[in-house]
Structure 1
Amino acid sequence: MFKKTILVTTLAASLGACATLQQTTPGVLGVAPAPVTFDGHVAGQATDYVFVLVPDANPATPGLSMRAGETIRLIMPAAFKRNEQVEVKTDANTNMVFTKGWPQAGVKLAGQYAIGYDAQSNAMTVKALTDIGTDGANAPGIKVIHLRGRTFLNPGPGDYPVTLQHVKADGKLKAAWAGSIKVLEDAPMARLAPTNFHLPPGTNSDFQKAAPGASMPHYLGLLLWGEAGSSLNHVGIAPRDLNRFPRYTGGLLVQDVNGDKVLDPTVDKV
């Protein structure tokens, strides 16, 4: 009986240790340049990144939920300096915003969460004022955090570790993520990013469904930049041309340079 008691006690202690380890082992935090700027990931420029908590953007996959009183802490590397010219507003999403996993789909801030900044840890904070679920108007929940608004300034080029914490109302750690922020020396020659600016607020052009041969209900939107952040307009997707462009096995991005509203890779800019 005595030996069994020791065995059960040891097993319980081991399981308890495993449970604690699972709760505090950081998940993978995806980090990418925000899709609405061309230089938010360039050295010396204003910081503009998205931090991905739930990588599956499918609206059928639930995101993160928060209980009232819980806090999300985005702990920025010390090399990222606060831009003191920009105020951190608690009741506006100009500095940071929760999104549902697709462009221009913010989780409503008003009445649900408040933004803050902790100078000691160089962390942006988001405190839930009420329960934020994964259904109803908030569906499918929090999947991405967008840090924006010239709130920070990027350091020199390199890779910088970043952590994010989900803290309970009692101060105990509920979950954590860890990732890396890549800062480039110069902006790329060109950049393409998805957008839903052309659609009504909250509309998602991703994950559309249609019968074979039928048109999708919403157009796909793309933001295109050229050198020095110049916008590339009148661009569409033309069929592939493997003879002239064997590297590109999908459609070709073609700019209608002559204005005839016909995408012709032989005369227009590919």
Structure 2
Amino acid sequence: MKTRYFVSTILTSLSLVATGAVAQEGMVSTIVNAPLSATGTVLGARTGINVYLQSEAAQGAEFMDPAVVGYGIPAGGQMEISLEGGFERDWDVGISQASIMMVTGAPQQGLPGAKVGYEVSEGDDVNIFVIKPTGDDGLNADTLMSPAKGAAGDPIRQRGIKVLHIGFQQSAFLNSGAVGTVNVRILDSAGDVVSEGSGDLSMIPAPVPQVLPTNFPHAGRNHNWQRVKPGDVLGKTKGTVPIPLMLYGVAPSNDRDEMYAFKGPITGAGVLSTPELKAMGYDKPASMARYNGGLIVQDTDGDGTLDPSKDMIIGGVIASAPKGAKGQELKSMNKNGKPVLSVPTEKMAEKPGKRWGGAMMILQFTAGSLPGKYRPTLALLKDPANPDAGDGSAYTYTIVVE
């Protein structure tokens, strides 16, 4: 039998990407709410999760670096994903490609089976997804790339399996218990385990506002892990794209099917950077001191501008940068002297917007003065009316300055 490694770890559902290396072994890094679901980790809801993978050499968020190759499936082998514990099988929904998608990188550059060569079926245990390559050579990680049109424009192509999107177009599982466990393993043609890992997801008790990664704009380009020079601006410097995020509001119902169908947007939202706040003479409340990179504000008076003293603060930016770096800044893009605020997704990407709803917020990032990794985390308050309640969801982007 080949080398086996295993991990079981309690994971929070509120942060979509670890901001640093994860001190653990195994091929499962974290389990989070899926980008196309407003309630995927809520107790009592239909399951909509992303299982983020990692390797021994590239732990946590580092595994999402396009320079790192993800997993493949050996010729004659298969991948198995089982959902246990608090995950309950819904017998009205079958296990198929519609209920799971393999993804290379984050945001979600999909690897559809019909395009890259695999089939999805139910395992001997009814709670197991089985993914089998259809070709004689299996799925070679080095050549396994997304067919998304924009992916061809990425300076470094994402390769290999890095994320498992469970509850994709339909959900075959329910979040029925407080903690659900996902086990992942890859088998070779002899049935020996090549790689495996496991992670636990603690369900959240009620829906919260969601900030999620997306690659709907720019035909599926990878907006994460862009490589730039000091002073470059994502979305303005040639070859770069701005940072998009999907925003969902709070589902008003606790009914599982109504939660699953909910795609309500958060419109009129944008980011005021810390330099912009200082220029306005605005001092952040003590309860928001963690938002060292700026505030996420929703235009509630409809004037098309953002003013935290009168509009609603719905979250903030937690900035991480190389020590001593200066000049880095994440903020809303500007058009005709006003910030570009979030709008219903279909206004920026019509076809997926009609299917998945939500709102799209587009941001620009100015690279700092020193080389290294810059990681702005965008977090939404669990309840904007009660900032002391803390954050409800978050996502971290990585920008590499060279």
Q: TM-score, normalised by structure 2?
A: 0.56
| Offset from partner CA, 1:17-42 (integer Å, 9 cap, x none) | xxx6x712311522112122121111
Distance 1:197 1:83, change over 3 A: same
Q: Do the aligned partners of 1:107 and 1:141 also contact (CA within 8 Å) in 2?
A: no
1:118 alignment partner in structure 2: 123
Task: Establish whether residue 66 from structure 1 lines up as the match of residue 109 from structure 2.
Answer: no
Q: Which residue of the other structure, out of 245, 252, 261, is the alignment partner of 2:285? A: 245
Deviations 1:175-202 (A, max 9, x none): 21111122222122x221121222313x
d(CA) in 1 for partners of 2:268, 2:76 = 48
State the distance in 1 between where 2:33 and 2:53 align: 15
- Asked if 1:155 corresponds to 2:176, the answer is yes
Structure 2 SS opposite 1:227:
coil
Matches within 5 A, 1:40-189: 40-54=40-54, 55=60, 56-77=63-84, 79-89=86-96, 93-110=97-114, 112-118=117-123, 120=125, 122-130=127-135, 131-136=138-143, 138=145, 139-148=158-167, 149-156=170-177, 158-188=178-208
Equivalent pair of 1:78/1:122 in contact (CA under 8 Å)? no
Amino acid at match of 1:265: P
Q: Structure 2: give runs of 5+ residues left out of the alignment.
A: 7-25, 55-59, 146-157, 235-239, 252-261, 314-402
Partner letter of residue 271 of structure 2?
A: I
Mapped to 1, the partners of 2:267 and 2:99 lie a distance apart of 28
TM-score normalised per structure 1: 0.82
Letter in 2 for 1:258: D
Q: Select the residue among 247, 255, 262 that pairs with 2:305.
A: 262
The aligned amino acid for 1:213 is G
Contact 2:268–2:298 under 8 Å retained in 1: yes
Secondary structure in 2 aligned to 1:155? strand
Mapped partners of 1:150, 1:269: distance in 2: 34
Q: Deviations over 1:235-260 (max 9, x none)?
A: 11112347233412112111122333
**Cα separation, partners in 2 of 1:267 and 1:177, compared to 1, 3 Å:** same
Give per-residue Cα distances to partners, 1:187-226, cap 9 Å, x unaligned: 22x221121222313x111112333333212121112223
Evaluate the alpha carbon distance shift between residue 145 and residue 45 of structure 1 in structure 2; reply closer, same or farther with a 3 A threshold.
same
Alignment match, 1:13:
none
- Give the conservation status (yes or no) of the 8 Å contact 2:27–2:195: no
Residue 223 (structure 1) aligned with residue 246 (structure 2): yes
Match of 1:236 in 2: 270
- Measured at CA, do residues 78 and 119 of structure 1 come closer, stay the same or move farther in structure 2, by a change above 3 Å? farther
CA RMSD across the alignment? 2.2
Distance 1:182 1:82, change over 3 A: same
Q: Write the distance in 2 (CA, Å) between the matches of 1:72 and 1:63.
A: 14
Task: Return the index of the structure with the highest Cα Rg.
Answer: 1
- Asked if structure 2 preserves the Cα contact closer than 8 Å seen for 1:155 and 1:183, the reply is no
Cα deviations by residue, 1:61-116 (Å, 9 ceiling, x for unpaired)? 11111223211111111542222222333xxx321111112123012311511111
Alignment length, in residue pairs? Answer: 244
SS in 1 for 2:66: coil
CA separation in 2, counterparts of 1:162 and 1:134? Answer: 22
Cα distance in 1 for partners of 2:228, 2:179 equals: 41
Identity among equivalent positions (%) equals: 26
Q: Which has the higher strand share?
A: 2
Q: Write the distance in 2 (CA, Å) between the matches of 1:160 and 1:137.
A: 30
Q: What is the letter of the counterpart of residue 43 of structure 1?
A: L
